[in-house]
Amino acid sequence: MDEKISTDGPIFVTQPFLPPLEEFVPYLDEIWKKKILTNGGPFHQQLERALCDYLGVGHIALFANGTLALVTALQSLRITGEVITTPYSFVATSHSLLWNGIKPVFVDIDPDTLNIDPGKIEAAITPQTTAVLPVHCYGRPCDTEAIQKIADSYNLRVIYDAAHAFGVTEDGRSVLNHGDLSVLSFHATKVFNTFEGGAIVCPDAKTKQRIDHLKNFGFVSEVSVAAPGINGKMSEFGAALGLLQLRYIDAVLDRRREIDAIYREDLRDVEGIRCIDTAGRGKSNYAYFPILVEREFGMSRDDLYGNLQKAGIYARRYFYPLISDFPMYRGLPSAHHENLPVARDTAAKILCLPIYPDLRPDQIRRVVNTIRNS
Ligand code: T4K
């Protein structure tokens, strides 16, 4: 075990991509000139159109962040009662249910995809179930076909938490077109960022209009409010940044793909390290590089995590603890340990390694060597 503290500066799990500052100045000039700062201004409208084109989807409503988008997506479909979801995600997934007064029902995950296991959904359906809220975890597409089949048989809505799935395609089509709605996050730590930001992808103009009302307090005209909406609007600053980021997104994804390939090759023969396939049948966005630290590695995940930290490498245990272990969820019957064996096992072994466009080859080597020498 290498006890040396690194002097080469920290390596974080991710670092946001930022385009050259001077290229942002003309956007700021424009905002300063027009003095339209928010409430669906020109950059906001442009970014919605540009994202529809880039992602290959019908309609997009931009949000101030992904969490508000999730909360509003559920509200827009008037989801109530119980919703089936995964415990293996960022806590915002389930929080969006609590914010709507909905009871989360946790279903275990598939050991290969780490997404909700469709084979276990039916057993969790009760007369109160109204929807399923799966997550395309690490951008790996869920088994959308199996989920839709169940939803159709039981008359359930499907809202995908697609926070990790920007630009992901499967069989040549955007994964964001599945289900009733999909929700994106444009947080600083995501593949495509607007500092903070998010969006709902929806199939038709009428749904988008309802969502647009809900993200603006529920206003449908100057004098009428149709529902208790929230302030979920993205500002012109965020939208302008998004437009600029879009110019670079293909290069960003290419670089992520290269780093993913290097890790896979360099860790191939390390016993007890399993690199998760984040692509499936699709085109991944390489948003995360998750590995499972198996028993054969000879050291626990937490000891490896500690070793990496000593070397100045801040890998992250996304997603440990499970959402179902947090105090506001652990009393639910579906949160019981025996209900979620795969999720529990995965949460104990998972480690996400640093991956971002500016990660240098020597830094990738440092990560790999630290794992090898642990
Ligand atoms: N659903 C899912 C499945 C999600 O994963 C998320 C968010 C959401 C919904 C909700 O979407 P948002 O409301 O956030 O749009 C991060 C993010 O805050 C969160 O957006 C993300 N998922 C989650 C997986 O990760 P933390 O607490 O791990 O972030 P933090 O601040 O520790 O950042 C990680 C590393 O990134 C830092 O060590 C350094 C680097 N970093 C971070 C920031 C914020 C930078 O270099 N610059 C930065 O500005 O939650």
Same domain, 234 and 335: no
Residue 137 placed within a domain: yes
Cis preceding-peptide flag for 321 (omega within 30 of 0): yes
Comparing C-alpha atoms, which of 275, 279, 270 is closest to residue 369?
A: 270
Identify whether 146 is part of a domain: yes
Residues 204 and 61 sit within 8 Å (Cβ to Cβ):
no
Same domain, 122 and 74: yes
Is residue 16 in some structural domain? no
Burial of residue 188, with CB atoms counted within 10 A of its CB: 0-12 exposed, 13-18 middle, 19 or more buried: middle
Ligand 1, atom nearest to 318 Cα: 24
Query: With a 6 A CB cut-off, is 185 part of the ligand 1 pocket?
Result: yes
Residues 160, 41 share a domain:
yes
User: Do 212 and 150 have their domain in common?
Assistant: yes
Instruction: Check whether residue 206 and residue 294 sit in a common domain.
Output: no
* Ligand 1 mean position, distance from CA 227 (Å): 30
Kindly state whether residue 349 falls inside one of the protein's structural domains: yes
Atom from ligand 1 closest to the CA of residue 314: 38
Q: Are residues 29 and 127 in the same domain?
A: yes
Q: What is the pLDDT of residue 2?
A: 43
Domain range enclosing 303: 249-372
User: Which residue, of 189, 215, 244, is where some domain finishes?
Assistant: 244
Question: Residue 187 Cα, ligand 1 centroid: separation in angstroms?
Answer: 6
Q: Are residues 188 and 108 in the same domain?
A: yes
In a shared domain, residues 45 and 139: yes
CATH number of the domain bearing residue 285 = 3.90.1150.10
Distance 282 CA to ligand 1 centre (A): 24
Q: Rounded CA gap, 367 and 374, in Å?
A: 11
Phi, psi of 348 (to 5 degrees): -80, -15
Top mutation candidate among 187, 192, 320, 323 for ligand 1, by most atoms within 8 Å of CB: 187
194 and 298 within one domain = no
pLDDT for res 5: 45
The answer to whether residue 5 is domain-embedded is: no
With a CB cutoff of 8 Å and minimum separation 6, the contacts of 127 are none
Which pLDDT score, from 0 to 100, does residue 281 have?
85
Tell me how far the alpha carbon of residue 90 lies from the centroid of ligand 1, in angstroms.
9
- Residue 119 in domain: yes
Residue 6 included in any domain: no
pLDDT at 282: 82
Beta strands in the chain (DSSP E): 11-12, 59-63, 82-85, 103-106, 129-133, 157-161, 169-170, 173-174, 181-185, 198-202, 219-221, 224-225, 273-275, 282-283, 289-293, 313-314, 350-353
User: What are the pLDDT digits (tens) for 92-118?
Assistant: 999 999 999 999 999 999 999 999 999
Cα(268)–Cα(274) distance, rounded to whole angstroms? 8
Contact 11, 358 (CB under 8 A): no
Compute the distance from residue 71 Cα to the ligand 1 centre, in Å.
18
**Residue 157: beta bridge partners?**
131
pLDDT value at position 8?
A: 75
For 234, the token pair is 């993205």
190 shares a domain with 45: yes
| CATH code, domain carrying 197 | 3.40.640.10
Q: How far apart are CA 197 and CA 122, in angstroms?
A: 34
Residue ranges in the chain whose pLDDT is less than 50: 1-5
Q: Residues 213, 258: one domain?
A: no
Euclidean distance between CA atoms 13 and 317, whole angstroms: 10
Domain edge (last residue) among 213, 244, 275: 244
Q: Does 117 map to a domain? A: yes
Into how many domains does the chain fold?
Answer: 2
Comparing CA positions, the residue from 96, 176, 171, 172 lying closest to residue 136 is 176
Clarify whether residues 181 and 281 are in a common domain.
no
Domain end, chosen from 227, 244, 261, is at: 244
